[in-house]
Amino acid sequence: MKKFIAVSILLVLLAVVLPASLVGAAPPAQDEDYTVQADDWLSKLADKFYGDVNAYWAIMSATNLANADDPSYTKIENPDTIEVGSKLRIPSAEDAQAFMADFDPTNADVEKLFASGASGQLLVGNWWTSGGEFAGVNEVYEFYRQEYPDVELIHAGIAGGAGVNFKGANLNKLIAGDPFDTFQLHAGLEAEAYSPETYLQPVDDILAETGVLDVMPEDLKNLLKVRGNTYTVPLNIHRGNVMWTNTRVLEQAGVEVPTNFEEFFATCEALQAQGIVPLGMGIADGFELGHTFEVALSGTVGAENALGLFNGSVPWSDPGVTEALENFDRMLDCTNEDRAASNWVGGIDLVINDQAAFNIMGDWAYGEIIAKGATDYVTWNSPPGNQDQFFLVSDGFAITVDAPNLENARNFVKIITRKDAQEAFNQNKGSICARTDCDYSTFPADRSAYFQAAADDFASSRIIPMVAHGSGAIPSWQQQFGDIVTQFASDRDIDAAQNAFILAAEDAGYPQS
């Protein structure tokens, strides 16, 4: 089974297809203890004891409840990784059945999997389930757990890059009156998707109380205000436009890092002639194509025009858009043919594994490079034409009006404003702090140069709030933008795509003529 995904709702789907390779045991009439053996995994045990691979949730819940009274039972935070020797509680068949009847993993019912601490739970909804992402957020959890050991913190991670699966699930929970206590969202217009006046608590008082506003970059502060209130406490600033570069592959192929499109296509040809994939790409999460096109667009038309396209001052009929689509069309020809088979992690993995020269992705990909030990040969460059442009993507957390554990949620977002928590998080996540006073020279030596460079570039570049990540356009325009690019990647019809952009911009409230 995959490693490292915490309580990921999508694991249910994985579990369904797991082979039953243990001979079935009689369903337990009463609770039993079980010690994990080599080659055991939870769904395999569920199959063995109950003939139902999905019933591993019942084992997880029973074991966690037992652990609350008796620490000799293992606490299972991640159903994907149970250590040999762990002590589990196998509930009776009747209890397991009763639990499963009431448990809906597709509704992120994860609170039922954990005991409640003396001070309740804290349900943290988010989409950070990849290796680098979880390594980052887990650092924040550690700070919280140290300060509030009596709270049971629950990482409710719903896999899918850029929140593609999380956002809908989260909205459903809000509407159903069953919200997370706190949840991840991007700074900027994304809050609009959650009817903030109805479902979210303003956090202006918390930001003022912690003093973080004194050290928060102005560009970020401006983004945070939604109709007069702030609903998001920011944790980081990602750079969305980086061309990750495998120096070993380049050296072996005898090519230089391209800086503009002309050079990029020449390099692409030279690499392909040697059988090397120039631009590694994975698109399975659905956001990656729109993301890459957005980077190509600003690389073609320049930062001011790119901003103008989304604020209505430049029409989408502009010849620069045609040229950007032409460039993107040629870039797609430089990617691996099986790009649909994997997501953004698969894209950066091609570079990490010496199977591609470049990957264009935000610096959450650096989190993967760090987690996979590739910082000494994977470096960063500007994508073609993106010099002096910094695509701003900022993650933060909101508090819900009906949060079951409101006080715990307020304390959580206070923790994330802290310098020490942001430093610990960001040195694993690949982003810089949402504060100007972090000291990147204290970050591990293999990576501190990247963070310092990103912070310097953030201070000196033109900042472009990124559309593909919720900061640069209202949610419906963001959605249409991504859909048009996805359609384009399959039909490669430049006129159709440009016309669709014109109509979508009009829909978003920007008259085009």
Residues at the contact surface with ligand GAL, assessed by CB under 6 A: 127-128, 133, 161-162, 186, 238, 364, 393, 395, 469
| Spatial separation of the C-alpha atoms in residues 115 and 69, rounded to whole Å | 10
Q: How far is the CB of 161 from ligand GAL (least distance, A)?
A: 4
Kindly state the smallest distance separating residue 174's Cβ from ligand GAL, in Å.
19
Q: Report how far apart, in Å, the C-alpha atoms of 367 and of each of 135, 348, 375, 380, 447 are.
A: 8, 10, 10, 13, 10
Which of 80, 50, 75 has the alpha carbon at shortest distance from 61? Answer: 75
| CB nearer ligand GAL, residue 173 or residue 238 | 238
Is 327:385 a contact under the CB 8 Å cutoff? no
Query: Nearer to ligand GAL by C-beta: 127 or 180?
Result: 127
Residue 186 beta carbon to ligand GAL: minimum distance, rounded to whole angstroms: 6
Q: Which lies closer to ligand GAL via its Cβ, residue 162 or residue 233?
A: 162
Count of H-run helices and E-run strands, the chain: 21, 18
Report phi then psi at 74, rounded to 5: -80, 140
CB of 259 to ligand GAL, least distance (A): 26
- Torsion sign (Cα): 341, 347, 351, 352: negative
What's the closest the beta carbon of residue 430 comes to ligand GAL, in angstroms? Answer: 8
> Which uninterrupted H or E stretch holds 136?
helix 131-147
Tell me how far, at minimum, the Cβ of 470 lies from ligand GAL, in Å.
Answer: 7
128 vs 477, beta carbon nearer ligand GAL? 128
435 vs 469, which CB is nearer to ligand GAL?
469
Residue 217 beta carbon to ligand GAL: minimum distance, rounded to whole angstroms: 16
| Distance of alpha carbon 14 from alpha carbon 18, whole angstroms | 7
Q: Which is nearer to ligand GAL, 48 or 291 (CB)?
A: 291
**87 vs 372, beta carbon nearer ligand GAL:** 372
**Which residue is it, tokens 């809000």?**
174
Beta carbon of residue 132, minimum distance to ligand GAL (angstroms, whole number) = 8
Mention every residue, 6+ apart, whose C-beta is less than 8 A from residue 320: 300, 301, 302, 305, 314
d(CA 291, CA 469): 8
Hunting for tokens 């002639």 — which residue is that?
273
Phi, psi of 232 (to 5 degrees): -125, 130
Q: Which is nearer to ligand GAL, 57 or 180 (CB)?
A: 180
Range list of H helices, 189-316? 196-199, 204-210, 218-224, 247-253, 261-273, 288-301, 303-311
Q: How many CA atoms lie within 13 A of 216 on its CB side?
A: 23
- Among 427, 445, 332, 492, which residue's Cα sits nearest to residue 137? 427
Residue type, 470: G
Query: CB within 8 A of 484, min separation 6: which ones?
Result: 497, 500, 501, 504
Which amino acid, 101? Answer: A
Shortest Å, Cβ 127 to ligand GAL: 6
Read off the tokens for 71. 């620490």
205/164 Cα distance (integer angstroms): 30
Shortest CB 369 distance to ligand GAL, Å: 14
Instruction: Return the number of the residue (127 or 451) whose C-beta is nearest ligand GAL.
Output: 127
Closer residue to ligand GAL in complex, CB, 91/482: 482
Of the candidates 303, 184, 180, the one whose C-alpha atom is nearest the C-alpha of residue 238 is: 184
Closer Cβ to ligand GAL, 162 or 268, answer by number:
162
Q: For residue 456, what is the enclosing H or E element?
A: helix 448-460
Q: For strand 229-230 and strand 242-246, is the pairing parallel, antiparallel, or unpaired?
A: unpaired
The H or E element spanning position 348 is helix 344-352
In the bound complex, what is the minimum distance in angstroms from residue 90's beta carbon to ligand GAL? Answer: 35
How far apart are CB 395 and ligand GAL at their closest, in Å? 5
Residue closer to ligand GAL by CB (options 199, 364) is 364
Smallest distance from ligand GAL to CB 336, Å:
19
CB of 231 or CB of 265, closer to ligand GAL: 231
Beta carbons within 8 Å of 1's beta carbon, 6+ residues apart: 14, 18, 41, 43, 80
